[in-house]
Structure 1
Amino acid sequence: MPEETYNPWTVVNVVFHHLVDQGLHPTFGDGHPGDPAAELLRTLGITPEAEGDVRQKTAVQDHLAELRRSVFGEPEPPVSY
């Protein structure tokens, strides 16, 4: 059986809606919610999907921009997210 992966933001959304349905009032704490959501997935035996983490996307884009500058001497492109 292939290993399942899920976007951590999907888990945050599902958990928040479940808590609201139970009459609770969840709030975001400090920091990025992807870490606790990913840990919840791991606890459930599910591997979190790195593509869902905007921090991963940003790091990849930053690394690619640095490679372009070092190889082609290109100026840094404008940031558009």
Structure 2
Amino acid sequence: MSEDDPSEPESYNPWSVVNLVFTHLSDQGLHPVLGETGDPGPPAAALLLALGIQPAAEGNREVMRDVRAQLAEIRRVMFDED
């Protein structure tokens, strides 16, 4: 599947979504806590799944596309590739 394929599911940086949710809750006067004293990863993933978002370690597709393009440009310059 192509990275530009619109049928490909959208992905998000999980921490960006969790931060958005927590900021919203804090703005409403609530005091959310994630993971109490342990690893916040599993509760964060559960929050995303509850919102219908599939957590993806690679994060936002557009960001990854930009990173790949930048790395390709660096390889081209460093190794004189066309």
TM-score for both structures, normalised by structure 2? 0.50
My pick for the range that moved more, 25-34 or 2-11, is 25-34
> Residues 48, 20 of structure 1: CA spacing in aligned structure 2 closer, same or farther, 3 A cutoff?
same
Native 8 Å contact 1:7 1:48 kept in 2: yes
Which amino acid in structure 2 is aligned with residue 50 of structure 1?
Answer: A
Secondary structure of the equivalent of 2:58?
helix
Secondary structure of the equivalent of 1:36?
helix
User: Partner of 1:30 in structure 2?
Assistant: 37
Larger strand proportion of the pair: 1
Larger helix proportion of the pair: 1
Aligned residues: 52
Q: Please give the alpha-carbon distance, in whole angstroms, between the structure 1 residues aligned to 2:31 and 2:51.
A: 23
Q: Paired residue for 2:49, among 42, 58, 67?
A: 42
Q: Paired residue for 1:21, among 22, 27, 42?
A: 27
> Residues 21, 10 of structure 1: CA spacing in aligned structure 2 closer, same or farther, 3 A cutoff?
same
Structure 1 vs Structure 2 CA RMSD: 1.9
Native 8 Å contact 1:12 1:33 kept in 2: no
